[in-house]
Structures are given as C-alpha cells and as structure tokens.
C-alpha cells in the first residue's frame, strides 16, 4: 500500500476524507445552533 496505488483507491480515499471533514463541520454547526436556541442548558456554565 505504497505511493503508486490505483487511481480508484486514491479517489475513494479523497472522497472519504472530504465527506468526513464536511460531516464534522456540519455537526459542529448544528451543535452551535442548538446551543444558541437552548433555553435551559444541560451543563450550567457560570461566567
């Protein structure tokens, strides 16, 4: 599994990496939106 690999495997690995990064970004975005709208926080934070 060195550098000279088949182009299909390289394309699948690149697509998997892009999907993983995008999914992480959108989950973070949804979490932050839910935190803004939450009336009672699950974990109280005292400033």
CA distance 17 to 10: 11
Of the chain, the end-to-end C-alpha distance in Å amounts to 51
pLDDT tens digits along 13-30: 899 999 999 999 999 988
Q: Position of tokens 């959108």? A: 26
- pLDDT at residue 42 above 90? no
**What are the structural domain ranges in the chain?**
8-33
Q: What is the pLDDT of residue 41?
A: 59
Tokens of 5: 């690999």
Q: What percent of the chain has pLDDT over 70?
A: 70
Q: Residue 30: helix, strand or coil by DSSP? A: helix
CA distance 25 to 20: 9
């Amino acid at each position: 599994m060195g550098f000279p690999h088949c182009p299909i495997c390289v394309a699948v690995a690149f697509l998997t990496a892009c999907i993983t990064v995008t999914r992480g970004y959108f989950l973070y975005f949804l979490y932050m939106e839910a935190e803004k709208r939450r009336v009672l926080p699950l974990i109280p934070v005292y400033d």
